[in-house]
Every structure is written in C-alpha cells, then in structure tokens.
Structure 1
Amino acid sequence: MHTPAVIAHRGYAGVAPENTIAAAVAAAEREGTAMLEIDVQPAACGTPVVFHDERLDGTREGRPVTDASGFVWETPLETLESLSVLGTDEPIPTLSALLEAVPETVGINVELKNPGTADLRVGESLSADARENRRELWRPFVERVLEGCAAFGGELLFSSFCEGALAALRDASDYAAAPLVRDDLEAGLEIARRYDCEAIHPPRNAVLGTSLATEPYAGPSAAEPEIDVVETAHEEGRAVNVWTVDSWLQFDELAAAGVDGIVADYPRLEAGTGTGPAR
C-alpha cells in the first residue's frame, strides 16, 4: 500500500512540547519523518516566533501552554524567549533559532498563522479588493519569515488558512505553497488554483470514501463531503496533505485513499506502532 509522507505536527505534539526546538530536533531524528510542521507569528518587534495560539494563556488537556497571558504579537521577544512551554524547560523559539537547530535533511512546513492581528479572514476565498488589502496586511510579516528561512537549505513548504498570507508569499518568493482548508473545500481549491499552489491541506474528515469523512472534526460537517478533494487535486497536479492524525487506523485509511502526506501528532503511525491516545 502507498505510504504517505509523514509530517510531524508541531514536532509530534503528542509526545513532545509543541513547536519547541527540542520537539523539532527529536522529530527530525525519528525514522520516517519527512517534514516538520510548525506555526509562526510575530513577537511585538516583528520577529517571527514559533507558536500556535494567538494568546499565551491557552491550555492543552488542562495544562497551561505557557506561564503568561496576552497576545503573542503584543509580547516582547525577550519575554517570549523566557517562557516555559507546557511546564517544561523549553522556551518559545524564534523561527531562525529553530531552523538552525534542525538538519536540512528534513523538510519544514511553515504555517503562516498570524501577521499580528485578531482580524483574520480564515478559510475565505476573497474578492479582488479584499485580496489586495489582505496581501498588504500580511506582506511585512511574510517578508520577515522569508528572511528567517533564507539560510535553511532544506525543503520548505508554506501553508496558511488565510488567502492574504499566500498572496503575499507568492509576491515575494517561489517557495511551494498550500492553502489550509477547514470547512470550505471549494474555497480551498479556488485559492490553490489562484496561486498555482503545489499542495492543498484539508482536514482528515474531508477525504471522501473513508470512515473519517463522517466524524465531527474540523471539516464541512459530519456527512460525506460533496467534493472528492484527493481526486480533484491530483487531476490538477497538486499534492494532498491531510491534518491531523493521532492513530495508525486513521493513517491507514487515509493512505488507502491516496493522500500524499499526513500531518501526525505521534511518530511511527505509518508502521502501526505509534502511541496515540486511547480509543
């Protein structure tokens, strides 16, 4: 059976403190890891840092993500670098520091999470006027991210839920790009076509013909999708990388459906040996 590329979600967030250098290095060293997925947004000074949530005071299964509060983009870089991620000794890293620490033999999927605003247009295919407005909103941050990535010699793939981020990226570089899709597959495909994206990243329950397609997750609904995103994307020459998987059973179903990459919270799911949460 076809084995999709394994993309370590936030550095395998199921077994390590997410989006930290320790998680990234450990994930890169694991057999079978093709790519790391990380999230970037700016500190108050504009420096790209690797962190998922807009705010510092979120939780993971009841544990605080950090020992601070407030928006990431309003927090000084020095403060961010001093924080503890999920009660460990690992701080929030800058994008440059994380890329310096990982080997260039593993690819990096950089998710452009937020340019420093609570006013995001997530998952929308925008009108021409709105696209231009959002392109300019994202441009300064995207340029800073590209500066941070310049020294990395490995494969880079940029993704985002926000069309403005992809528009700014396409203006500034020819790196591979992918729209992240949540609940509107047609909008995601439209964005992929508009920017000639190399891939599209739908949620796991957006893949037609799997039992996952009827589960309540992040996709359109708990009903089979009307669009066969795998078939459509492949016909158009795009890869399909699905997020986020936490069991080998899910991995096997998606592999059988022909997806190209799977974003996973746990390592070794492709071999049926990963340790996911109890079912």
Structure 2
Amino acid sequence: MAGRPGPWATGRFDVEGHRGAKGLVVENTLESFAAAYDAGVTGVELDVRLTADGALVVWHDPVLLAGKCRPTGPDLVGARVADLTLAQLRTVDVGSQTLPGFPEQQAAPGARISTLDEVLAHGRERAPHVWWTVELKVDPTDPGESATRRDLLERVLASLHAAGLERQCLIHSFDWAVLELSARLAPDVLRSALVESTVTWVPGSPLTGSVRVGETHDDVCAGAAAVGAHVISPEHVLVDADLVARAHAAGLAVLPWTVNDPARMVELVEAGVDGIVSDYPDRALATVAGRTPVGA
C-alpha cells in the first residue's frame, strides 16, 4: 500500500463516502458530505456534470429523476441536466425525498444541487485533509457528452486548482479517454480508471479510450495502466486477491466500489485492496478498524 500515490501513500487504509454518504443522508447534498466527514472518512467520491450554461454541478444522473427531485417551480422532472441552466436546476429540491432501498437515509429538506466549487469549499472548511475522488460523468456513446469531454475536464481541473486540491484528488471516470486527456493536460493530477462488471472490459468497449480489449491489451489492469491511471476502481464483485496482485504489479492502487456489506469489506481488506468506496462510511470505518491490509 505505502508507496503508491494517493490517500493510501502513508500506509493508511482509505475509506471513501459514496456521493457523500448516500446510505446516511440523501446523496450529493452538502448534508450528505457533512455526514461523511462526521463519520471520519479519509475521502469522498462525487459526480460532476456540465449544465447548459457551463456550470459544474455535483449530480449523478443525466436526467432529473422523479424519485430524487421535487420541483418548487416549473416541473423539470425528466429533463436532462445538460439542457438546463444552473438557475433552473436551483429550483429543484433534491433533498426531501429518501430512497426506499436505503432505509437509514435521512432527508435534507430543501437541499439544492450544488456546484463543485461549493462542495469543495464546504469540504475544505469541514474536513481539510480528505481526498476528493471526482467522477467526470461522460458517456462516450452520447455525442453531446463526448463533445464536451474536454470542457468538462478543463473546468474540473480549474476548480481543483482554485481550491488548492490538485495534490489531494483523483480524476475518476468510466470513460478512460478522460484519463488520457487529463494525463496530457494535468500530468501531476492522479487518475482513477473505473471498471463496471460486464460493461467496461469487453471486446469493442467504447469506454477504454485508446486501449482495445483483447487487441492492444488482454488484462484490465494493464489496460488501465496504459491510459495513465494511477488507480483502478472496479465494481467490487470483480475484485479478488489475484486482481489486486496484478494491479499492484502494474503500479496501480485498488479502490473497489460500492461496498456496503461488512463481510465483503473484510474480504476485500484481506485481498489487499488500498481502500473502499461505501454508501455507509461509518459502517466501513468500524469494520476495517484494526485490520491490516495485505502489503501494508
């Protein structure tokens, strides 16, 4: 663990809250991030999208979903984030509705979609030492999203620079072309390659940038290293001791997502991962406390 760049470089195990602390408070709200900081996380993961007027907002879904969004003005449910201005998005209450699949989730009534700058400023004040895993939401099969890839990345890098967090963050994406571009634009900023089971590492995948699965590379870890990643972040079902060993041999840290079952957390620690992303960072921190990952 120690020696690979990132929040684990000092030998500590990294526990990151997913979308703040999704299992505790409604996702991607300032209140959810506060819950993650209060739990004692070493990092937080968040999602970033571009609005129609070029603002960076912290939001996961490409559209405003009825189960998460409550209009307070015009009914914008079902609209694409990319087609709305920041002012339009600010009219939507995204904190009042909890998700049935997360029975412990608390509401944050009246919460609005935040900008990346707002979330970073809030976090720097509340928890200045946390690491930021910033997922750039780009679907390379969507012409609109692929066309704005560079603009999104440049704006994210500018926000991280303005906040003084360039040495305390990961540029994180399922679209590995984002990582290749980031390696050119900001070579000193760490990069994390997301991997989804049965989706990312398959022949003909549009997600792997210049890497061609089964042609230029046969192993997902080698492929991630080839696009300039410092971290491989697989869906946790893909992770075992063999994958961890291959990743570490390639110089990559391993950060699985999204791990909510304590027994699985223990398995992953024993497999030697460098950290985990969880909807329940309080549960994760309690589970991994006192356990020494392999290779620490």
Pair in the same fold by TM > 0.5? yes
Q: Does 1:145 align with 2:156?
A: yes
Is 1:240–1:260's contact at 8 Å kept on the other side of the alignment? yes
- Tell me the amino acid that sits aligned with residue 245 of structure 2: E
> Residue by residue, what CA displacement relative to the aligned partner does 1:33-82 show, whole Å, maximum 9, x if unpaired?
010000001011121100001111253xxxx3454321111011111123
Structure 1 residues 36 and 66: alpha-carbon distance in aligned structure 2, compared to 1, 3 A threshold: farther
Match of 1:30 in 2: 39
Aligned ranges for residues 1-279 of structure 1 at < 5 Å? 4-31=13-40, 33-57=41-65, 59=67, 64-67=68-71, 68-87=77-96, 88-103=109-124, 104-114=128-138, 118-119=142-143, 137-154=148-165, 155-173=168-186, 174-183=188-197, 184-185=200-201, 188-208=220-240, 228-268=242-282, 269-272=284-287
Structure 1 residues 19 and 157: alpha-carbon distance in aligned structure 2, compared to 1, 3 A threshold: same
User: C-alpha displacement at 1:137, in angstroms?
Assistant: 4.7
Partner SS, residue 40 of structure 1: strand
Match of 2:215 in 1: none
Is 2:170–2:190's contact at 8 Å kept on the other side of the alignment? yes
User: C-alpha displacement at 1:194, in angstroms?
Assistant: 1.9
Is 2:259–2:276's contact at 8 Å kept on the other side of the alignment? yes
The TM-score with structure 2 as length reference comes to 0.73
Is 2:138–2:174's contact at 8 Å kept on the other side of the alignment? no
Farther-moved stretch of structure 1 (147-156 vs 257-266): 147-156
For the aligned residue pairs, the C-alpha RMSD in angstroms reads: 2.5
- Tell me the amino acid that sits aligned with residue 274 of structure 2: D
Farther-moved stretch of structure 1 (184-193 vs 140-149): 184-193
Structure 2: how far apart are the matches of 1:139 and 1:273?
Answer: 38
Is 1:179–1:188's contact at 8 Å kept on the other side of the alignment? no
> Residue by residue, what CA displacement relative to the aligned partner does 1:174-227 show, whole Å, maximum 9, x if unpaired?
210011001345574344222332110001100126xxxxxxxxxxxxxxxxxx
Is 2:180–2:228's contact at 8 Å kept on the other side of the alignment? no
Match of 1:128 in 2: none
Structure 1: how far apart are the matches of 2:62 and 2:142?
Answer: 8
The TM-score with structure 1 as length reference comes to 0.77
Structure 1 residues 148 and 251: alpha-carbon distance in aligned structure 2, compared to 1, 3 A threshold: same
| Unmatched runs of 5 consecutive residues or more in structure 2 | 1-10, 72-76, 97-108, 202-217, 290-296
Structure 2: how far apart are the matches of 1:142 and 1:57?
Answer: 25
User: C-alpha displacement at 1:248, in angstroms?
Assistant: 1.6
Farther-moved stretch of structure 1 (257-266 vs 75-84): 75-84
Structure 1: how far apart are the matches of 2:57 and 2:133?
Answer: 14
Is 1:163–1:191's contact at 8 Å kept on the other side of the alignment? no
| Unmatched runs of 5 consecutive residues or more in structure 1 | 122-133, 210-227, 275-279
Partner SS, residue 49 of structure 1: strand
Is 2:69–2:92's contact at 8 Å kept on the other side of the alignment? no
Partner SS, residue 42 of structure 2: strand
> Residue by residue, what CA displacement relative to the aligned partner does 1:134-178 show, whole Å, maximum 9, x if unpaired?
6x7511111111112222234111110002211221121121001
Question: Aligned residue pairs: how many?
Answer: 237
Is 1:14–1:266's contact at 8 Å kept on the other side of the alignment? yes
> Residue by residue, what CA displacement relative to the aligned partner does 1:13-46 show, whole Å, maximum 9, x if unpaired?
0011111122112312322x01000000101112
Structure 1: how far apart are the matches of 2:140 and 2:155?
Answer: 12
Structure 1: how far apart are the matches of 2:45 and 2:80?
Answer: 22
Structure 1 residues 182 and 273: alpha-carbon distance in aligned structure 2, compared to 1, 3 A threshold: closer
Is 1:20–1:93's contact at 8 Å kept on the other side of the alignment? yes
Structure 2: how far apart are the matches of 1:251 and 1:48?
Answer: 32
